[in-house]
Structure 1
Amino acid sequence: MDKEATMPMAQQKTVVLYPSPGVGHVLPMVQLAKVFLRHGFDVAMVIAEPPAGSPDFRIVDVDRVAASNPAITFHVLPPVPNADLAAGPGKPPFLLTLQVLERYNGELERFLRSIPRRRLHSLVTGMFSTYAADIAARLGVPVYAFFASAAATLAVVTQMPALLAGRRAGLKELGDTPLEFLGVPPFPASHLVGELLEHPEDALCKAMVDVWRRNTDGTSGVLVNTFESLESAAVQALRDPRCVPGRVLPPIYCVGPLVGGDGTSPADQGRGERHGCLAWLDAQPEGSVVFLCFGSRGTHPPEQLREIAVGLDRSGQRFLWAVRTPAGTDDSAFLPEGFLERTKDRGLVVRSWAPQVEVLRHQSTGAFVTHCGWNSTLEAISHGVPMLCWPLYAEQLMNKVFITEDMGVGVGMDGYRAGFVKAEEVEAKVRLVMESEEGRVIRARAVARKKEAAAALEDGGSSRTSFDRFLFDAENLDKLLGK
């Protein structure tokens, strides 16, 4: 039986995906688009560009992503006037970004109206583009949020308004006092997303709380890039009436892990040839290489890079290190004298980028030193690679707690709390994961999580079933709104 015969309704429907700006949000949404495509839907992805020079979102090369994904229709919204919002002294750039995103509602509405309502299945927003829910409500279009971070993070930000209510001071004053949220391991207050530590009346703090509240207030459900067995406590908390007393949250659909590695990651885009580091990995023993990579925004000062190099040198372990050289620094200025020569038989330093998913998938990779971004975390879990956690910013500090204490697939590089990891710790933690009995247990647990992730995406698996449930609920809601 052909596709048209099995899915006649889906072929007539278009799903509009409206991700938050930035590579780390757009690319997971591309993976979600592929799930919709497999179910027979047309997919249009709408891109709103952040303000020029925004440090919070790395601009996406839409043409390159579109060329890699011809089955998806990409539409870039025309720029909106924002001169009156220009950042002034002390105005956080991220606040400007959120204000500009809200102004894009008019252009988004024009685009949605260009699609016949009978063909429009739903609008799926990103975690920071949730202002669009107001437009969907006005047009009578079902709207859902796609939360590209952990379910545990969603549980935290959903409970934040209650924590901040009535406070006369910011949470920053709590320092490392443990915070407790339903469904989440206790973690230091200092590990919250930085904007949430400010005074509750601070403009950016209020904007962040509001934009995250909209993920579960004003949408008909939340698609989360996770799988149920990985974060069962957090998912159950989001379904618990105690999570937000007095309010019933919309359904939570765990549809992950949605990860790249097929031409949609920044490292893959426009590069047809196989990266040289993969050939180097081919020559290494199975599970013997420590991979170090800190994401698209992860940089360290030269003195920290030297400590990493010394620690790797002393550890005696094989390593593949993707280094983003600090601006204005000579390529080799941060490396100790003789480092490359001493480690040439067991190490490889790669400038700027490496094909992360392919490296994590490679049988020679045995551990991953990571900044704990959620995309990187899911990639490591999907390929059974234990993590050495070195969070840098945003929700990564919380992710470190989830990875080490809840999921049990990593250990922390404790120096991150002081902003500097010494060579001694790099050496000790690398050896712990690669050589010790504790490391063996963590590696075994990582392999088990890999099997769980694969099972979730199989026919009848939890994430497949969850997405089917979402489609069923969405179809019934669309019929109700269409009456």
Structure 2
Amino acid sequence: MESSKPHAVIVSSPGVGHLVCDLELGNRLVADQNFHVTFFVVLESQASAGESHLIQSAMAQKLLDIVVLPPVDVSGQVGPNSPIFTRLTAVMTEIRPTLRSAISDLKPSPTAIVVDAFGTPVLEVADEIHVLKYVFVTSAWPLALMLYAPILDEEVEGEYVDQKEPLRVPGCMSVRPEDLVDPLLDRTKHEYKVFLQVGSEMRGSDGVLVNTWEDLDTRTLKAIREEEGFGSVSVYAVGPLIKPAGPSASRSELLDWLDEQPIESVLYISFGSLGVLSAQQITELAWGLEMSQQRFIWVLRPPSKKDASADRGDDALNYLPEGFLSRTQKLGLVVTQWAPQSEILCHRSTGGFLSHCGWNSSLESILRGVPMIAWPLYAEQKMNATKLAEEEGVAVRPKIAPTRGLVGREEIEMMVRKVMEDQEAGKAMRARVKELKASGEKALTEGGSSFNAMSQLAEQCAMNSERQKGKGK
């Protein structure tokens, strides 16, 4: 019977990145664990093109009951330039009455509520209706830092960025001050307090789901489960959950061009939906690419308007060196609109990915067997880049972090050549990333570690549902 299925509510905070992996989590719970899933989409304003595309695709699949909630206006509470952590947690706090009302109308009643890292204010609703509450986060090492942050707050004096030694996180890689997530860069700011609050709320949940798998994060997952400093929260490694590549019918000119290139010969360059470079850095990257003489697809955006040298208008092509497009027309393509990233990374001709190291993009690259040039820009990307380059050996990274200075053309040329043609280093990275690809795919199949973690989750939900029915009698 339909009503005997566990019924999970997933609440996705604004942003394409969250929507991608939250939807895939919902799809897996339905397809693999026989859940019924109601999926609430929270918007900060009107849906972006990326969000609309994802929502429409999910609705067409008919696996999930999709409910798009009215956009939330928090302009009276936070400024337009407020950090993302502050802004999105304000949105998720503001949506609670609307969500509470929508969930109360659901039949059958939900067994569990799942939120992403920005949605912990919504856990209050789960407490009110006495259902299990889970948080779904991206990567394991930043999760460890977040759970341990309340202890660091008491132990460390002064600003974390001024520490002479890396921050010690029990059982995990230590975190260098230059790799810290944005909210920890200034302890006097409100964003820091929000970060601590979210870590505390996660500790009070019934479990944290992580978009990773046991073999990729053995050390960190073991530490969170066994070291008391993390608050004894249950951790379920349920990944790698990524956006599936679209059908071949949705072809673009980029894929037609890729069809004509040699196997593993093209470098794909993208910094995510929010990542931008300075005008000067665009120039250096262009020269480095040209000097490397490697094939490429570059998704180029104009610099931020805060950049004093961004005086050439909104057309991103205006920021390329004069003559660049004509000199490189046989080597590559520059795209100023959307590009089908999943399909590009899947393509046999793609051999490298210059990436901002958002965890979704990192997992996509690994699951497609593509080594990376790590170019972190914000959020937890610096920690991801360090893990990918130093612990996993599937990426190279610049000597100076792109957030701290200009990466010159010669170094860019060297990194591109290392990934794309270096017989020793490039070959080793390619072999390692293909090992991880096989390991990640195995984790999701029946009997794999992530499949089993989701089965445990389903059992926990079923047991709680039975308990609730017993209380109701």
Shared fold by TM > 0.5?
yes
Distance in structure 2 (CA, Å) of the matches to 1:8 and 1:393: 43
Q: Which residue number in structure 2 is paired with residue 153 of structure 1? A: 142
Residue 289 (str. 1) matches residue 266 (str. 2): yes
The alignment partner of 2:267 has SS state of strand
Q: Which residue number in structure 2 is paired with residue 254 of structure 1? A: 237
Q: Which residue number in structure 1 is paired with residue 227 of structure 2? A: 241
Q: Which moved more, 1:318-327 or 1:435-444?
A: 318-327
User: Against the structure 1 CA distance between its residues 471 and 103, is the aligned structure 2 distance closer, same or farther, given a 3 Å change threshold?
Assistant: same
User: Against the structure 1 CA distance between its residues 230 and 100, is the aligned structure 2 distance closer, same or farther, given a 3 Å change threshold?
Assistant: same
Shift of 1:317: 1.4
Distance in structure 2 (CA, Å) of the matches to 1:368 and 1:194: 24
User: Against the structure 1 CA distance between its residues 83 and 306, is the aligned structure 2 distance closer, same or farther, given a 3 Å change threshold?
Assistant: closer
The alignment partner of 2:111 has SS state of strand
Shift of 1:195: 1.4
Shift of 1:167: 4.8
Distance in structure 2 (CA, Å) of the matches to 1:419 and 1:53: 35
Q: Which residue number in structure 1 is paired with residue 151 of structure 2? A: 162
Query: Would the aligned equivalents of 1:324 and 1:353 in 2 still touch at CA under 8 Å?
Result: no
Which of 33, 41, 55 lines up with 2:35 in the alignment?
Answer: 41
Shift of 1:272: 6.2
Q: Which moved more, 1:226-235 or 1:345-354?
A: 345-354
Q: Which residue number in structure 1 is paired with residue 309 of structure 2? A: none
Distance in structure 2 (CA, Å) of the matches to 1:341 and 1:30: 41
Shift of 1:215: 2.0
Residue 9 (str. 1) matches residue 9 (str. 2): no
Which of 139, 142, 166 lines up with 2:132 in the alignment?
Answer: 142
Aligned length: 458
Equivalence map 1:82-101=2 (5 Å): 82=74, 84-87=76-79, 94-101=85-92
The alignment partner of 1:273 has SS state of coil
User: Against the structure 1 CA distance between its residues 442 and 143, is the aligned structure 2 distance closer, same or farther, given a 3 Å change threshold?
Assistant: same
Q: Which residue number in structure 1 is paired with residue 341 of structure 2? A: 356
Distance in structure 2 (CA, Å) of the matches to 1:421 and 1:371: 14
The alignment partner of 1:228 has SS state of coil
The alignment partner of 2:126 has SS state of helix
User: Against the structure 1 CA distance between its residues 375 and 68, is the aligned structure 2 distance closer, same or farther, given a 3 Å change threshold?
Assistant: farther
User: Against the structure 1 CA distance between its residues 275 and 222, is the aligned structure 2 distance closer, same or farther, given a 3 Å change threshold?
Assistant: same
Q: What CA RMSD, in Å, does the superposition of the two structures yield over aligned residues?
A: 2.6
Query: Would the aligned equivalents of 1:237 and 1:243 in 2 still touch at CA under 8 Å?
Result: no
Q: Which residue number in structure 2 is paired with residue 216 of structure 1? A: 203
Equivalence map 1:217-366=2 (5 Å): 217=204, 219-244=205-230, 247-249=231-233, 251-262=234-245, 273-326=250-303, 328-366=313-351
Equivalence map 1:49-68=2 (5 Å): 49-50=43-44, 52=45, 60-61=51-52, 64-68=56-60
Which of 66, 75, 93 lines up with 2:67 in the alignment?
Answer: 75
Residue 402 (str. 1) matches residue 387 (str. 2): yes
Query: Percent identical across equivalent pairs?
Result: 34
User: Against the structure 1 CA distance between its residues 222 and 432, is the aligned structure 2 distance closer, same or farther, given a 3 Å change threshold?
Assistant: same
Q: Which residue number in structure 2 is paired with residue 109 of structure 1? A: 100
Q: Which moved more, 1:98-107 or 1:72-81?
A: 72-81
Q: Which residue number in structure 2 is paired with residue 423 of structure 1? A: 409
Query: Would the aligned equivalents of 2:300 and 2:334 in 1 still touch at CA under 8 Å?
Result: yes
Query: Would the aligned equivalents of 1:183 and 1:233 in 2 still touch at CA under 8 Å?
Result: yes
User: Against the structure 1 CA distance between its residues 433 and 74, is the aligned structure 2 distance closer, same or farther, given a 3 Å change threshold?
Assistant: same
**AA at the equivalent of 1:122:** A
Shift of 1:386: 0.6
Query: Would the aligned equivalents of 1:196 and 1:209 in 2 still touch at CA under 8 Å?
Result: no
Residue 447 (str. 1) matches residue 434 (str. 2): yes
Q: Which consecutive residues of structure 2, in runs of 5 or more, have no partner in the other structure?
A: 306-312
Distance in structure 1 (CA, Å) of the matches to 2:131 and 2:384: 33
**AA at the equivalent of 1:160:** A
Shift of 1:58: 9.6
Which of 360, 371, 382 lines up with 2:367 in the alignment?
Answer: 382
Shift of 1:385: 0.6
Which of 454, 457, 462 lines up with 2:449 in the alignment?
Answer: 462
Query: Would the aligned equivalents of 1:19 and 1:125 in 2 still touch at CA under 8 Å?
Result: yes
Q: Which moved more, 1:303-312 or 1:101-110?
A: 101-110
Query: Would the aligned equivalents of 2:358 and 2:384 in 1 still touch at CA under 8 Å?
Result: yes
TM superposition outliers: structure 1 runs of 4+ over 6 Å = none
